[in-house]
Chains A and B, each alone.
Chain A
Amino acid sequence: MSTVVRAENVAKIVNTAAGELVILDGIDLEINRGETVAIVGASGSGKTTLLGILAGLDSATSGAVQLVDAQLTELDEEARALVRGRHVGFVFQSFQLLGSLTALENVMLPAELRGDAVAQSQAQEILAMVGLADRVHHYPRQLSGGEQQRVAIARAFASTPTVLFADEPTGNLDTHTGERITELLFDLNEEFGTTLVMVTHDDRLAHRCNRTIRIDAGKIISTDTPDVKAEAS
């Protein structure tokens, strides 16, 4: 099984008025193709920063990050954007749809940015898969929170990413809707054979993943494999 995400001795340090603040310290991890990984930890533990660095949204202060076949730490923002466009999909807690575009246009956006022939029918197909066939021409403000997150998931899978990064994908949703979104996310992940890296507070969500990486004060304190999880449950 090939490695799609690799972090070696990654650190993130920021300068504040009170001096240097270490957010991540000596992170080493590997994530294989098709794996589902949850990153968990308390607020301020550094898990969101780690997700940003692994996905190429942010750069590490030191260490090396490899995403699929790209050495992210050696690339500038211009090149990292191209890697994201080709290999990465995102689902965010606050949905992050463009309010000025319809559901369909939001889903078509990654293809348009790549300059690919606009695959309108493919976008419509994915929206149908997430149960929004009759809402394709609605704007985000005309959709409920759950529906907006479905559009975001459709957009993430529309570019058939190698890795899908999700930041608290159910954090803004009620329990029932959150469960339905979780189902959808994992179903599509399986169908598309995507690697899923997810930051979450939700234990049930973390449990659905193959592996759980626990972070505290910027360091990995444990990695639970499926066997450990089984024992724990």
Chain B
Amino acid sequence: MITVTRKVSGFGFPLIRRMAMRDLRSGEMGLLLVALVVAVGTVTSISLFVDRLHQALLQESANFLAADRQVSSSQPIPGLFREEAAARNLATAETIVFPSMVFAGDNNQLASVKAVSGSYPLRGELIVSDAPFVRGYPVEDVPAPGEVWLDSRLFPALGLSLGDELEVGVAKLTVSRVLVAEPDRGGSFFDLGPRLLMNVADVPATEVIQPGSRISYRLLLAGAEDQLEDLKDRLADDLEPNFRWVSIRESSPRIGSALDRAESFLLLGGLLGVLLAGIAVALSAHRYAARHFDHVGVLKTLGATPQQILAGFLNILLLVGAVAIVLGLAAGGLLHLLIVELLSSLIPVKLPAPGVQPFILGAATGLICALSFAMPAFIHLRDISPMRVIRRDIGVAPLSQWLSYGAAAAGSLILLVWYTQSLMLTFWTLAGAVTVVLVFGALAYFLLRSGRAVGMQARSGWRLALSGLQRRRRESTVQILIFGLAIMLLLVLVLLRTELVTEWRNQVPENAANHFVMNIAAEDVAQVQELIDTEATSGDFLYPMIRGRVVAVNGMDATTYQETVVGPREGQRIMSERNLTWTAAKPENNEITAGRWWTADSTAAEASLELDYAEDFKLKLGDELTFNIGGQEKVATVTSIRSLEWESMSPNFFIILSPGALQDFPATYMTSFYLERKNKIFLNTLLSAYPTITVIEIDALIAQVKSIVDRVTQAVELVLALVLASGCLVLIASIQASRDARMSEHALVRTLGGTRKLIGSSLAAEFAVLGTFAGVVAVVGAELTVAVLQSQVFELSMGIHPWIWPVGPLVGGLVIVTVGLLGSRSLVSSPPMMVLRGLN
């Protein structure tokens, strides 16, 4: 009796290299290599582009704050904050913003004064010019003490030229430059009037800062992300309740949510790209393995042990994987450069240099794809019986198939979670896919099982195709599901892209009003409107505005109510003075969430509250609010709660009252208009004619939002294109995978007298059925997944998309027929002998 102790030597590297090279040359490994290269290339290029675009968008967004973070307050910023920031190597700057009447000789004008320290701005740049109303240039300094820079509009309004003096409070300052743009302009709705920029050192001399002044103090911060977060944690106790920590997301929710959604979408695109490429890798690996069953049988008869087989083929896989990773990284890098180059005219932002992270992500994706998607197929090879060399019908034990599919699922889950960093996104996408697989898998299988006809039905292409689909119903079901999943993932992406882009564009419609006019006296409304109509496009609303404050809730003094019912709150207080309006009709972008809107002829004093406002101050329907308006008190009952589209560029009010409550109070009016940038001088005409009105310019803000939305949209479309490429690869891989089974069957039909036309029409019919069914699967799956993603991840409203119902099956059928017939040309054109001898 022998004891078998000889060391397992495994395949030598030269043999592995030879086998891999030979497989590559003969095309056996080609599709697997391409699928891996596409997986690595897609992930690398998306990650590189997203990484760079993300950094660029963050930089641009930081410009909105002129910093990475701000601490803002109506009180001076304590020295402690600056010391703690300095201790963390953070750059700081200070701004103080207040409205003030400025004087030049006999002229005066309300200006929004901003006093800045020398290091301002920390992000973005100041643009100045040497004459009003001309294009400017960036500068790195700020006004020197004793100097001011003025908005172009202030020059004609105050009759000033460069070098003249003006008065801010009691200080006399020299006008040294024209201020064209500043990064953090336009954040606040009440940052009124044209800008005057001065040095913070001159503020005490102006003596304008008095107790009760409306002043906004800001400490600007910039530096390493971890240090900023560390500072936030350190100051957590000191911030409450008077100081507010501001990041881009709080400061500009419009940009914040666009960024969030874009990030989610790009991540989803990457996720789907990985999924599709993974399916392609798995399909091509299984085909490779299936074509090597005999090969392994021979190796085993020659003495190769199962361990040697496993190690040998895994080494081949790793070798091919390594080649694919190198090629994929290079292709991804080049592709991303090409995209950056193509979009360079559209993306004026200078993209920061790419980091090494996207390359690591790409390489790791390639490795995980190879191991989790391809390895199971290679593991099967270990279990091939050597008896296959004499009995070809011996296959692979089903148990190992289950184990390997489990491993593939687990591997892909890890990859997806790691890649998206979002359990929600991964979960919902996978849940959609699994549901579709289970429901439609069962449906397709039973449909194909019913009405099984006897024989091959080789009289017509249709019958031959249908009988083939039924005979191979297991394979056909799998193929419908794979096609369906690929089309579904693409549809999900297309639908979400359309929804997102539409949503973004709706926020900033073309020619949306970009100037608001406030404080229009009631008797001036008609004339102001007339003047606006001569030069600009009027907006679609006119609101009366009345300043007032809540002084009592259900008879309880508001201060007591705040302390006892609401509790301590940062920032807003219920008794703060607010803009009130009255209107008979409900504003367009307001939705009633509780109660009802008053009737047009209501004479009762009713109030409608914004949802968050009502929740914050614990107010409900039926509560009685007492308002103090110019010394007079008015009681109104809350009869409705509204939700608002804060992202719309229209004025929104926390409190709207019924005409019966407010229409007898003296009011000023607010309207809006669209003005092109080149006609800005019209503002002076308007303000000269009606000096008491206030114009709020949001054109710069709208332009910034538009440019960000445009860039994000481009990135989204690019990702879509890349994922489409992965999707096509899956289709090709899937058709290739089923080619061998069809090949022998059709070759047999041809030897028995079947014409090429019969085979061709049978293939076309088979692919049409598969594609159409897959299209139906895809449409249902996509609608379900998109509905869940919209509500759970993107916070958009759900809806059915009727257009995809005919388009999905139609495009599915057409694409699968086209790709399928192209991939099966040799089945129809090769002599049957070649096919039967396995030489094709």
Q: How far is the CA of A109 from the CA of B15 in the complex (A)?
A: 9
Residues of A within 8 Å of B299, CB to CB, are 98, 109, 113
Residue A167 CB within 8 A of the other chain? yes
Partner of B301, one of A57, A100, A101, A114: A57
Residues of B within 8 Å of A96, CB to CB, are 294, 297-298, 301, 389
CB distance from A21 to the nearest CB of B (A): 14
Q: Tell me whether B18 and A114 are in contact (CB under 8 A).
A: no
Query: Counting chain A CB atoms within 10 Å of each CB, which of B1, B4, B23, B385 scores highest?
Result: B4
Question: Within B7-21, which residues are at the interface with A (CB < 8 Å)?
Answer: 7, 9-12, 15, 18-19
Q: A96-B294, A105-B18 are in contact. Are A113 and B302 (CB under 8 A)?
A: yes
Q: A85-B304, A96-B298 are in contact. Are A167 and B390 (CB under 8 A)?
A: yes
Q: Tell me whether A115 and B390 are in contact (CB under 8 A).
A: no
Residue B26 CB within 8 A of the other chain? yes
Residue B88 CB within 8 A of the other chain? no
Residues of B within 8 Å of A98, CB to CB, are 295, 298-299
Q: A70-B4, A78-B305, A82-B4 are in contact. Are A52 and B390 (CB under 8 A)?
A: yes
Q: Tell me whether A57 and B389 are in contact (CB under 8 A).
A: yes
Residues of B within 8 Å of A32, CB to CB, are none
Partner of B2, one of A70, A110, A114, A159: A70
Residues of B within 8 Å of A27, CB to CB, are none
Q: How far is the CA of A77 from the CA of B296 in the complex (A)?
A: 14
Q: Tell me whether B304 and A81 are in contact (CB under 8 A).
A: yes
Residues of B within 8 Å of A202, CB to CB, are none
Question: Within A174-228, which residues are at the interface with B (CB < 8 Å)?
Answer: none
Partner of A100, one of B19, B305, B307, B387: B19
Residue B30 CB within 8 A of the other chain? no
Q: How far is the CA of A52 from the CA of B387 in the complex (A)?
A: 6
Residues of B within 8 Å of A69, CB to CB, are 1-2
Q: Tell me whether A100 and B23 are in contact (CB under 8 A).
A: yes
Residues of A within 8 Å of B307, CB to CB, are 78
Tell me the nearest residue of chain A to B20, going by C-beta: A100
Residues of A within 8 Å of B23, CB to CB, are 100
Tell me the nearest residue of chain B to A48, going by C-beta: B390
Q: Tell me whether A101 and B389 are in contact (CB under 8 A).
A: no
Partner of B306, one of A51, A77, A90, A118: A77
Residues of B within 8 Å of A77, CB to CB, are 305-306
Residue A163 CB within 8 A of the other chain? no
Q: How far is the CA of A75 from the CA of B294 in the complex (A)?
A: 23
Question: Within A45-104, which residues are at the interface with B (CB < 8 Å)?
Answer: 48, 51-52, 55, 57-58, 68-71, 75, 77-79, 81-86, 88, 90, 92-93, 96-101
Q: Tell me whether A84 and B390 are in contact (CB under 8 A).
A: no
Q: A58-B387, A69-B2, A96-B389 are in contact. Are A112 and B301 (CB under 8 A)?
A: no
Residues of A within 8 Å of B6, CB to CB, are 82, 86
Residue A141 CB within 8 A of the other chain? yes
Q: How far is the CA of A112 from the CA of B839 in the complex (A)?
A: 27
Q: How far is the CA of A225 from the CA of B734 in the complex (A)?
A: 57
Q: Tell me whether B306 and A114 are in contact (CB under 8 A).
A: no
Q: Tell me whether B4 and A83 are in contact (CB under 8 A).
A: yes
| Contact size range, A | 35 or more
Residues of A within 8 Å of B303, CB to CB, are 81-82, 84-86, 88, 110, 113-114, 159
Tell me the nearest residue of chain A to B21, going by C-beta: A100
Q: Tell me whether B839 and A100 are in contact (CB under 8 A).
A: no
Q: Tell me whether A57 and B1 are in contact (CB under 8 A).
A: no
Residues of B within 8 Å of A109, CB to CB, are 15, 299, 302
Q: Tell me whether B305 and A112 are in contact (CB under 8 A).
A: no
Residue B472 CB within 8 A of the other chain? no
Residue B515 CB within 8 A of the other chain? no
Residues of B within 8 Å of A70, CB to CB, are 1-2, 4
Question: Within B74-109, which residues are at the interface with A (CB < 8 Å)?
Answer: none
Q: Tell me whether A84 and B839 are in contact (CB under 8 A).
A: no
CB distance from A163 to the nearest CB of B (A): 13
Residues of A within 8 Å of B389, CB to CB, are 57, 90, 92, 96
Tell me the nearest residue of chain B to A90, going by C-beta: B301
Tell me the nearest residue of chain A to B24, going by C-beta: A100
Contact with A along B281-324 (1 / 0, CB 8 A): 00000000000001101111111111110000000000000000
Q: Tell me whether B387 and A57 are in contact (CB under 8 A).
A: yes
Q: Tell me whether A110 and B302 are in contact (CB under 8 A).
A: yes
Q: A57-B386, A57-B389, A57-B390 are in contact. Are A115 and B12 (CB under 8 A)?
A: yes
Residues of B within 8 Å of A57, CB to CB, are 300-301, 385-387, 389-390
Q: Tell me whether B390 and A51 are in contact (CB under 8 A).
A: yes
Residues of A within 8 Å of B391, CB to CB, are 48, 52
Residues of B within 8 Å of A93, CB to CB, are 390
Q: How far is the CA of A105 from the CA of B299 in the complex (A)?
A: 13
Q: How far is the CA of A48 from the CA of B19 in the complex (A)?
A: 30
CB distance from B2 to the nearest CB of A (A): 5
Question: Within A107-151, which residues are at the interface with B (CB < 8 Å)?
Answer: 109-110, 112-115, 118, 141
Q: How far is the CA of A167 from the CA of B6 in the complex (A)?
A: 28
Q: Tell me whether B4 and A79 are in contact (CB under 8 A).
A: yes
Residue B22 CB within 8 A of the other chain? yes
CB distance from A152 to the nearest CB of B (A): 10
Tell me the nearest residue of chain A to B25, going by C-beta: A100
Residues of A within 8 Å of B301, CB to CB, are 55, 57, 84, 88, 90, 96
Q: How far is the CA of A219 from the CA of B344 in the complex (A)?
A: 81
Residues of B within 8 Å of A78, CB to CB, are 305-307
Tell me the nearest residue of chain B to A77, going by C-beta: B306
CB distance from A111 to the nearest CB of B (A): 10
CB distance from A57 to the nearest CB of B (A): 4
Q: Tell me whether B304 and A100 are in contact (CB under 8 A).
A: no
Q: How far is the CA of A101 from the CA of B2 in the complex (A)?
A: 33
Residues of A within 8 Å of B1, CB to CB, are 69-71
Residues of B within 8 Å of A68, CB to CB, are 2
CB distance from B836 to the nearest CB of A (A): 13
Residues of A within 8 Å of B19, CB to CB, are 100-101
Q: How far is the CA of A37 from the CA of B226 in the complex (A)?
A: 81
Query: Counting chain A CB atoms within 10 Å of each CB, which of B1, B19, B28, B387 scores highest?
Result: B387
Q: How far is the CA of A93 from the CA of B390 in the complex (A)?
A: 8
Q: How far is the CA of A185 from the CA of B429 in the complex (A)?
A: 62
Residues of B within 8 Å of A52, CB to CB, are 386-387, 390-391
Q: How far is the CA of A81 from the CA of B10 in the complex (A)?
A: 12
Q: How far is the CA of A219 from the CA of B19 in the complex (A)?
A: 42
Tell me the nearest residue of chain B to A115, going by C-beta: B9
Residues of B within 8 Å of A71, CB to CB, are 1
Residues of B within 8 Å of A115, CB to CB, are 7, 9-10, 12
CB distance from A159 to the nearest CB of B (A): 8
Q: How far is the CA of A86 from the CA of B307 in the complex (A)?
A: 16
Q: How far is the CA of A223 from the CA of B311 in the complex (A)?
A: 44
Q: A96-B298, A100-B23, A101-B18 are in contact. Are A81 and B12 (CB under 8 A)?
A: no
CB distance from A199 to the nearest CB of B (A): 9
Q: How far is the CA of A92 from the CA of B22 in the complex (A)?
A: 23
Q: Tell me whether A113 and B308 are in contact (CB under 8 A).
A: yes
Tell me the nearest residue of chain B to A95, going by C-beta: B298
Residues of A within 8 Å of B2, CB to CB, are 68-70, 83
Q: A57-B386, A69-B2, A112-B12 are in contact. Are A85 and B22 (CB under 8 A)?
A: no
Q: Tell me whether B26 and A100 are in contact (CB under 8 A).
A: yes
Tell me the nearest residue of chain A to B303, going by C-beta: A85
Residues of B within 8 Å of A85, CB to CB, are 302-305
CB distance from A144 to the nearest CB of B (A): 13
A–B complex contacts, Cβ < 8 Å, 11 sampled: A57-B390, A58-B387, A82-B4, A82-B305, A83-B2, A90-B301, A97-B298, A98-B295, A109-B302, A113-B303, A114-B303
Binding site for B on A (CB under 8 A): 48, 51-52, 55, 57-58, 68-71, 75, 77-79, 81-86, 88, 90, 92-93, 96-101, 105, 109-110, 112-115, 118, 141, 155, 159, 167
Q: A57-B389, A78-B305 are in contact. List 8 more A-B contacts (CB 8 A).
A: A57-B386, A70-B1, A77-B306, A79-B4, A81-B386, A82-B303, A101-B22, A113-B308
Binding site for A on B (CB under 8 A): 1-2, 4, 6-7, 9-12, 15, 18-19, 22-23, 26, 28, 294-295, 297-308, 385-387, 389-391, 839
